[in-house]
Amino acid sequence: MMARKGIWIGLGAILVLVLGLSAWAFLHQQNARQGEPEGGDIALPSTQGGEFSLAQLEEDQLAAVFFGYTYCPDVCPLTLGVVRQALQQVDEELARRVVPVLITVDPERDTLDRLETYVGHFGDRFIGLRGSEAELDDITQRYGVFWRKAEMEDSQMGYTVDHSSTLFLVDRNGTIQQRVLYSPNPNSLISALRTELEDA
């Protein structure tokens, strides 16, 4: 009996390992295909009413653009929390020059009303954007961002969305000034913001 239990445990561990390696391979292939992102304008319906476009930024401003969704259990709220911390820790004038933007990769469930409530938890200046899947495909390809639905048959959620966790600092011309990798603390983002904005 114990031997049989050990076999099942071993098979379970192998399955977890295989699934983990498959996910890693998928992410690696996506990143390898994407190369250097070209960026470009982002113009989508906004939680602030009407359409938001990067062209609306002032000359001395940057958008801090993140691709995520409101049902995300970990990376999205952590990243937006890091953006909020960074804006609280830099001086007021520098913070004014940063426009935090969340673009949903789950337009099926994330209505503008839901996005407005969600981003509002992080601050009044946070903007949520929602486009069609075709618009999302175009923007994510230009920014080198991957996203895909991951079905969850035994969950009431139905599915989650796997997606990139990079934060983009983008100017009004759609030029990516810096890509900030995911971090649970704001130090990297603060450093990037100071590099791009203090001498600008």
If you write DSSP's letter for every residue of 54-90 in order, what string do you get? Answer: GGGS-TT-EEEEEEE-TT-SSHHHHHHHHHHHHHHHS
Domain locations in the chain?
Answer: 43-197
- List the Cα angle 55/182/159 in 5-degree steps: 90
Give 119-133 pLDDT, tens digit per residue. 999 999 999 999 999
Alpha carbon distance 71, 110 (integer Å): 8
User: Is the distance from CB of 150 to CB of 161 less than 8 angstroms?
Assistant: yes
Fold category of 43-197 in CATH: Glutaredoxin (3.40.30)
pLDDT tens for 14-53 read 433 333 333 433 444 444 344 678 999 999 999 999 999 9
Residue 75 CB neighbours (<10 A):
15
Report d(CA 149, CA 109) in Å as an integer: 12
pLDDT in tens, 91-116: 999 999 999 999 999 999 999 999 99
Q: Which pLDDT tens digit goes with each residue over 166-198?
A: 999 999 999 999 999 999 999 999 999 999 998
How far apart, in whole angstroms, are the C-alpha atoms of residue 77 and residue 121? Answer: 10
* pTM exceeds 0.75: yes
